[in-house]
Structure 1
């Protein structure tokens, strides 16, 4: 009887993981769609640096898929986890910081975006616990700092009000370090 119960639990867990994978892939696709106007108005070589959140869910989807297939890549897991945490927090902060801009136009859309990005943070924290740190994980910091530099010195950050952009810039660079440290600590536990 216990074998049947364990099998049932395993089947439920597989379905849940598949659900997470599918929702992240769909979130990636919607995220690229969300940024379509900014992408169309930007040089193509900046595109990869514009779609931060969709990239985060793409990295996570690939990392989760490889993990499911028994081909876990600790660098990719670390990279995905740190990206999920950084950009999940960043988006929630920016939405609240500029709430009069985001929540007056389409409050339902931005409420959903807020909730889903809060869930990115949860995913990142949970996934980091299943990751081991290695020297390649430092490349995450390089990625973050190049991305941050381009966001605030080449203008690739998402469309948002310019009001108090310095606050957002400081937060962004800080989150690069904080999210890296958080994932590093989680990999050591």
Structure 2
């Protein structure tokens, strides 16, 4: 690794930088669940309650990444704790990459088909692109590689539930007649995200944040 790369790794692992990311991700995660409030309420009123955890995809991905940052700051010492950490990190990387790219792509596709793109959409595209970027940047500091297959299976299950029961994230109006294409894109993106997580991660125990 070059000197510049080593300095960048040291900077990214600095506790102040991680706390700064937490200061961004915690309120972003909370806002994400609030954003899904109407769909959660609609799902609760019209679908079985067990489907509710499958509705807020992006904020749950952000929650996984937030927990992964906390575990990077305070890594567990027991074997069970390390396994839980690895699973959370794997879920964080796979789902953050997947839903980060998904949201940007879907909003852009809706705009391409003639739907309006307002300032909230630009905010969502920027924040979701950031989700994917930070997950890929931090994957190499995580110990998630051995758990990526489990994260892949969970995300595929989530996709299956979303498009089998109709609880996928509400789409731009311009895409409401393109659900089969969105479904196929979603499944392919899950596979891509797992592959990206695998390539970006390392199967080593990282140093404690400085």
TM-score range, shorter chain: 0.7 to 0.9
How many residues are matched? 178
Considering only aligned residues, what root-mean-square deviation do their CA atoms show, in Å?
2.2
Say if 2:93 is the partner of 1:92: no
Shift of residue 19, structure 1, vs aligned partner: 1.6
Partner of 1:137: 148
SS at match of 2:177: coil
Shift of residue 133, structure 1, vs aligned partner: 4.5
In the alignment, which of 82, 92, 108 is matched to residue 94 of structure 2?
A: 82
Equivalences for residues 13-162 of structure 1 within 5 A? 13-43=14-44, 44-71=49-76, 73-99=85-111, 100-103=114-117, 107-160=118-171, 161=173, 162=176
Q: Are 2:58 and 2:99, in contact at CA under 8 Å, matched by a contact in 1?
A: yes
- Greater relative CO (CA pairs within 8 A, separation 6+): 2
Partner of 2:5: none
Q: Are 1:95 and 1:102, in contact at CA under 8 Å, matched by a contact in 2?
A: no
Q: Which structure shows the bigger proportion of residues in helix conformation?
A: 1
SS at match of 2:127: helix
Partner of 1:186: 200
Q: TM-score, normalised by structure 1?
A: 0.86
Partner of 1:3: none
Q: TM-score, normalised by structure 2?
A: 0.78
Shift of residue 24, structure 1, vs aligned partner: 0.8
